[in-house]
Structure 1
Amino acid sequence: MAKKKPLILVTNDDGITAPGIRALIEVMNTLGDVCVVAPDSPQSGMGHAITINDTLYCDKIQVHKDEQQQEYSCSGTPVDCVKLAVNEILKRKPDLCVSGINHGSNSSINVIYSGTMSAAVEAGTQGIPSIGFSLLDYSLDANFEPVKKYVKQIAEECLKNSMPKGVVLNVNFPKASAKELKGIKVCRQANAHWIENFDKRTNPLGREYYWLTGEFVNEDKGEDTDEWALANNYVSVVPVQFDLTAHHAIQDINSWEL
């Protein structure tokens, strides 16, 4: 009797036709049966947003005629995509959920804004081993070829081994050639932040509007962080937990007069 192939859910936040998700689908098709449920348009920076006051549409499509996986284009957020996939589309819980490959960084503090990682986190909350993949190249023409072998390696290990409870993986790739990539480092999230500015402008009708800009500042000099790994051409793998309790602070807060 043939062994059942793993069922792999693929999603993203850049939209179902983005080159990054097409590269991810290609790799996942070598590992199992693939179902794609992804936004019908870019949803970057949506974090863990869900649709509650509007209708959701989810249409079966085929982006490329020579591909065999099932694909669904969803009008909602990345998290909506995962919820719909698990509760309405798939006949069983997937063995793995992969999100990405994002066009742009989701390292350090960026993880909390990321639709890519929020999709992975949502799957993780439902007991599904999950990984978010991102490449530090925002270009639509980003080259995903050098990272495909690492995507496959990490996904295979995730399928073979039990993911620690309450954890998903945040994987970031530097923009580098295959020869320049040095390997994988398991890291912690760097202590970094954005110094944000709003560019104030006026539209042709005279109404003022704002365009968010900013500078990313990494004050963390540790050599065990995702930012250090990426700056030195390593693939960073950060285990991320979705229990946001600051356990170390409970004793201090209990000392307050509450």
Structure 2
Amino acid sequence: MNKKPLILVVNDDGITAPGIRTLIAVMNQIGDVVVVAPDSPQSGMGHAVTINETLYCNKVKIDDGPQQEYKSTGTPADCVKLAVSEILDRKPDLCVSGINHGSNSSINVIYSGTMSAAVEAGVEGIPAIGFSLLDYSWNANFEPLKKYIKKIALNVLENSLPDGVVLNVNFPNNATFEGVKVCRQARANWVEEFDRRTNPQGRVYYWLTGKFVNMDKGEDTDEWALANNYISIVPVQFDLTAHYFIPKLNNWDL
């Protein structure tokens, strides 16, 4: 009899977030699930790791289900490292991260704790997927996503992924979708501002604000897909080398 796949589930919104609870339920239909997730929200942490503070990780039980669960004081990337090094007795067949409450399309992938957990799994040689819904509400409706998440996860388990590649999957905030599009990452960024304020003690502080600007008019991007009610899938690589520029750089007088 074939052994069930071992699936690691992580996130950045915290172990009690509705998004990860939905993802756990879907993964329980596929394999043996181990959850290692932050004990509090870690959005926007990127690929940060804990090196100057004590790191804790404790077994917990959040709700019914066969999954094993651990909550950590660390970042999403810490959670993957802890799972691989300390908790699991073998390498997972799949790591899924999310479901994030909010977009991780385009440049957001750089800042995302959700995607950094998936990338960390990829660094460890584990096929990985990050899932996000374009709804920041704690009470977001994740129900329409379930069948697509299951299908994408099963495809990765069956077909695997190239070494150094993970998937970034984003869902529009709708009850139904036009379909699924494999895309490239749109060229877009945040135009940021700082709201400067003064507290009652006279000390100046700042709130980061800004707006998202999409400079990319291509119809093959994740931003186009999401704006047109398609689920976007972007294969992400974590080799950041600009290979095309190496020959030109070699011609510099260095």
Using the size of structure 2 for normalisation, the TM-score is 0.99
Decide which of 70, 73, 76 is 1:72's aligned counterpart: 70
> Paired residue for 1:143?
141
Distance 1:205 1:13 in 2: 33
Provide Cα deviations, 1:189-243, integer angstroms capped at 9, x if missing partner: 0000110000001112111100000010001010000000000000000000011
> Paired residue for 2:108?
110
> Paired residue for 1:99?
97
Provide Cα deviations, 1:108-132, integer angstroms capped at 9, x if missing partner: 0000000000000000001000000
Taking the TM superposition and a 5 Å limit, the aligned residue runs for 1:117-128 are: 117-128=115-126
The aligned amino acid for 1:208 is V
Taking the TM superposition and a 5 Å limit, the aligned residue runs for 1:76-95 are: 76-95=74-93
- Aligned residue for 2:248, secondary structure, equals helix
Q: Percent identity?
A: 76
For the pair 1:170 / 2:175, whether they are aligned, the reply is: no
- Aligned residue for 1:17, secondary structure, equals coil
Q: CA RMSD in A?
A: 0.5
> Paired residue for 1:46?
45
The aligned amino acid for 2:143 is E
Distance 2:124 2:138 in 1: 32
> Paired residue for 2:236?
240
- Aligned residue for 1:128, secondary structure, equals coil
Q: Which aligned segments of 4 or more residues in structure 1 are displaced greater than 6 angstroms?
A: none
> Paired residue for 1:3?
2
- Aligned residue for 2:107, secondary structure, equals helix
> Paired residue for 2:11?
12
The aligned amino acid for 2:2 is K
Distance 1:250 1:49 in 2: 28
Give the drift of 1:32: 0.1
Please list every run of 5 or more consecutive structure 2 residues that lacks an aligned counterpart in the other structure: none
> Paired residue for 1:249?
245
Provide Cα deviations, 1:112-160, integer angstroms capped at 9, x if missing partner: 0000000000000010000000000000010000111110010000000
Give the drift of 1:165: 1.6
- Aligned residue for 1:73, secondary structure, equals strand
The aligned amino acid for 1:240 is V
Count of aligned pairs between the two proteins: 254
Give the drift of 1:68: 1.5
Please list every run of 5 or more consecutive structure 1 residues that lacks an aligned counterpart in the other structure: none
Distance 2:110 2:229 in 1: 23
- Aligned residue for 1:240, secondary structure, equals strand
> Paired residue for 1:55?
54
Distance 1:11 1:204 in 2: 39
Taking the TM superposition and a 5 Å limit, the aligned residue runs for 1:199-218 are: 199-218=195-214
The aligned amino acid for 1:50 is V
The aligned amino acid for 2:210 is G
Taking the TM superposition and a 5 Å limit, the aligned residue runs for 1:157-196 are: 157-178=155-176, 181-196=177-192
Give the drift of 1:162: 2.2
Provide Cα deviations, 1:54-93, integer angstroms capped at 9, x if missing partner: 11000000001x2120000000000000000000000000
Using the size of structure 1 for normalisation, the TM-score is 0.98
- Aligned residue for 1:215, secondary structure, equals strand
- Aligned residue for 2:19, secondary structure, equals helix
The aligned amino acid for 1:251 is P
